[in-house]
Structure 1
Amino acid sequence: MFGKRGKMKILFASAEVAPFSKAGGLADVVGSLPKELEKDAEIAIFTPLHGCIDKDKYKIKELENSEMWLTFGNQPHKFNLYMAKLPDTKINVFFIKNDWYFSCFKEVYPKYLDPRYEHERYISFSLAVMEYAKALNFRADVIHANDWHTAMLPLYLHSNYKFDEFWKDTKCVFEIHNLAYQGIWFQDVLDFANMRKDIVYNQWGCEHYDRVNWMKGAIQYADRVVAVSPTYAKEILTPEYGENMDYTLRGVQYKLRGILNGIDYTVFNPKKDKALAKNYDVKSLDKKEENKKAVCKFFAIKYNPDRPLIALISRLVDQKGIDLIRDMQYELQKLDADFIFMGSGDNSYENLFIWLSNNTPNIRTFVGYDAKLANLIYAGSDFFLMPSKFEPCGLSQLIAMRYGSLPIVRATGGLEDTVTGYPLDNSNGFKFWSYNGWDMLNAIKCALYVYGDKYVFNAMRKSAMEADFSWKRSSKEYMNMYREITGKQ
């Protein structure tokens, strides 16, 4: 099942992994980073078996004799282990099945769950990861935990498994994909987790303002903490972006790293993408217009080659700057441009976009998410709007550039690191800095001005499509970090 001895062993744990289960950028990262690390390390990925995962499509099979019972509080729970290969790799992906917590839902993150139950889900998953790794004899050199859903792993390593011979040499990396979601609940949840409060529930552990904060515990106990872009690593040290965790993070700056995320260029490739109406590359940009025609036809907008198409594909939440669009809705209707919005989230924003779609001539909305349609929109749009209040890294702007859609972004986090704003040399997008609707509108108007100059516009498109945001460079930084903490080469 596993490869030769000698290679460094890395265990990834995540609530979602593309292409099996996906709700956000976390799935893309955990589904693509290991592909680049595979040549230097032996990888195992653990994730819950959500009810939305198609076992037949991905040939996910249950392992023999995998049934395991674990007790939480005073309640025993049954787990089973399934396995498949990450597509186009030899990497084993292990799916932990539990009918009470995961298999019963058709979504990765179901809405309206009781918060205590939500904590129980990921506590049980994390402990099952530790036990199944032992059962499989996968003695990881590094456990790479992602966001609060798996933040319990560094705490388990520090407490329950501190003197366990199997885990004695294992180091831990904790990656922050979004600091806003920290996993906060009352201290009684530690009884459910079977953790000793005298070890973990203190100011140097997971206690934060008289509550259990899983992310704080992971930050304190992990050997390295990774933010998903260099700028975001700096921003989260400040009160503005620190989400009440800036004080803790400033105390562990010595182990904080900012490593820019990438995207899988074999998945996001306009030359081979089957979802497109017409494939193209940087040398055949004229074929891109066929995708614009297809998008206009789908959304019942009159196609006009001289009228730009601006897209937004996002979760409809405050973080993504949707309130700026709400503030500027009447100004956007006056522009000589068409807008396509795709996403789901807060009901108020969904209702606003539906109303705009039904009552304006130049704004159309798709509430929900469809991967094939999303790729067609990337390919068919001229500009891609991301007015985020904060953005740890952002993958949408990287995908948009790959497809030749120029991003219009607020310069924060990963957007600042990845987009070179017009009129700088080799510019590949447009930036604004202040978080207000008028600045966003001015950036859009600047983009519309450039659209009228086809020479500059096409030069920017080529710069965007030729920019390298693959995992090759970032994976080297991750690998160097693993070697640094383990002492292995």
Structure 2
Amino acid sequence: MKILMAASEMVPFAKTGGLADVIGSLPKALQRLGHDVRVVIPNYKQISGGRYVTDLPVPMDGHLETAIVRQTAIRSGETEVPIYLVNNYRYFYRDYIYGYVDEGERFNFFCKSILAMLPYLEFRPDVIHCNDWHTGLLPLFLKIRFSGEPFFETMATVFTIHNLQYQGRFPRAILKPLGLGDEFFTPEELEFYGEVNFMKGGLLYADVINTVSPKYAMEIQTPELGEGLDGLLRKRALDLYGIINGIDYEEFNPATDKRIYVNYDENSLERKKLNKYELQKELGLEVCDRPLLGIISRLVGQKGLDLVAETVEPVLAGGAQMVLLGTGEDHLEKTFADLQLRHPGRMSVNLGFNSVLAQKIYAGADIFLMPSRFEPCGLGQLISLAYGTIPVVRATGGLSDTIQDYDPSTGEGNGFSFSSYSAEALLAAINRAINLYRDDRPAWLNLMRRGMKMDFSWNHSAIKYVQLYEKAVSRRQQRITRAV
């Protein structure tokens, strides 16, 4: 198949979250299956290089903007995955990826540019795989602007929800630069509580929809986690699928990872402890064999950091240590900075993001915390398993799909989970993990080895995505046939 993946970010070019990791890994797995897969992202200021391919006019609210298309690639074994970079100085030459008042106009331009460039590139994908609200307009434009045009007629679309909370909502006035009339400002179309909702465009017009875990695909059809779109998602339930994200084991392998202090594998776990000692030393923690809890997270309400803040005191009082890496909401940053001041030598708070330190935490921590209020998939728990660091998670979304609660009577499970969104439930799960760590070293080592042997690679998920693409093509053909 010919597949074009469209997204707002991608490792190694631009990253703010897990979306970039997915777009950096899935295309390589699809290519290994024999498909012609290419990716298109905006050419942000921090992205350099790439050879010039073409430039083309894009209609924007009564005037034309120029899209400059460059091409680069990422390595995939012995081959490369082509990457198209859509450049425009006005929209993308900025210090940050997101956070601007004209966000709607920026990604309107991006979506229009993608469709406009395809004939110039002479690349006719069978499927355009759109990701999150930034590309939500693309299925809509394809259906209403290019319907009946031979080059575009058979192109199917898949729309992936990576996080339903972020929807791309803008004032009604955005319709004009989108080139859409007031007929699209209705509850049946893009209107959403008095605003225009870009993600809703993807949910309405894509041939097939998916999200990044089976459990989350069910959860977003409920009022509790549907973010106001649960009715539409229930309406499209037959077109909605859940596919677990994977991780790249070439990047996340403690035996070869050059970012950690000491390499190790499941047969040399005594070397993992050396990573803990070096991490403690680097971060100013007491160097000892206390259980070390790690957190790598955006500091936002979704991630359950309010629960962590409530449990810090009893966890540290019980003899454990904690290290946190992340940035986000001001009140959470202040909360954890204050906790560090109150517990020198026991708690290390690192505000910001540092990819090398993240790997050192995965390798050096004994326990990894992800007590999310909701979690579409989560990659942290998968990475922690690969490094023999036992996850403690709340049983929601992809965390529920990937982490089985440890059962001491059978020895089964690969982590510790809890259901109730409360500090008491989190603390109970942490204590179960700490008690096993301290009281039954053989059982703990078996738990570590089991996690390290698990396969959450993209190989399995890529096959499911190909099946999803085939469904999208089939449904697109059915719609064409019905229209004729």
What are the within-5 Å matches in structure 2 for residues 1-400 of structure 1? 8-38=1-31, 39-53=33-47, 55=48, 60-64=49-53, 66-88=54-76, 89-105=79-95, 107-110=96-99, 113-114=100-101, 117-198=102-183, 200-305=184-289, 307-361=290-344, 362-400=346-384
1:413 is aligned to 2:400: no
What are the within-5 Å matches in structure 2 for residues 478-489 of structure 1? 478-487=465-474
Distance in 2 (CA, whole Å) between partners of 1:156 and 1:474 is 28
Distance in 1 (CA, whole Å) between partners of 2:470 and 2:316 is 54
Q: Partner amino acid for 1:311?
A: G
Distance in 2 (CA, whole Å) between partners of 1:220 and 1:352 is 41
Post-superposition Cα deviations, 1:442-475, rounded to whole Å, max 9, x if no partner, equal: 1111111010110110000011101110011111
Q: Partner amino acid for 2:80?
A: K
**Which residue of structure 2 aligns with residue 443 of structure 1?**
429
8 Å CA contact 2:51, 2:72 repeated in 1: no
TM-score normalised according to structure 2 size: 0.94
8 Å CA contact 2:216, 2:376 repeated in 1: yes
Give % identity: 39
Distance in 2 (CA, whole Å) between partners of 1:120 and 1:95 is 18
Q: Partner amino acid for 2:73?
A: K
SS in 1 for 2:393: strand
Distance in 1 (CA, whole Å) between partners of 2:45 and 2:463 is 35
Distance in 1 (CA, whole Å) between partners of 2:237 and 2:315 is 42
SS in 2 for 1:100: helix
TM-aligned CA distance change 1:166 to 1:196, over 3 Å: farther
Give the number of aligned pairs: 468
Offset at 1:197? Answer: 4.2
Distance in 2 (CA, whole Å) between partners of 1:121 and 1:35 is 28
TM-aligned CA distance change 1:197 to 1:62, over 3 Å: farther
More helix by share: 2
Distance in 1 (CA, whole Å) between partners of 2:414 and 2:349 is 26
TM-aligned CA distance change 1:28 to 1:90, over 3 Å: same
SS in 2 for 1:463: helix
8 Å CA contact 2:6, 2:41 repeated in 1: yes
Distance in 2 (CA, whole Å) between partners of 1:367 and 1:226 is 33
Distance in 1 (CA, whole Å) between partners of 2:120 and 2:418 is 52
8 Å CA contact 1:357, 1:363 repeated in 2: yes
Q: Partner amino acid for 2:255?
A: K
8 Å CA contact 1:232, 1:393 repeated in 2: yes
- The range that moved more, 418-427 or 258-267, is 418-427
Offset at 1:50? Answer: 1.3
Q: Partner amino acid for 1:44?
A: R
Distance in 2 (CA, whole Å) between partners of 1:183 and 1:104 is 19
Offset at 1:140? Answer: 1.1
Q: CA RMSD in A?
A: 1.5
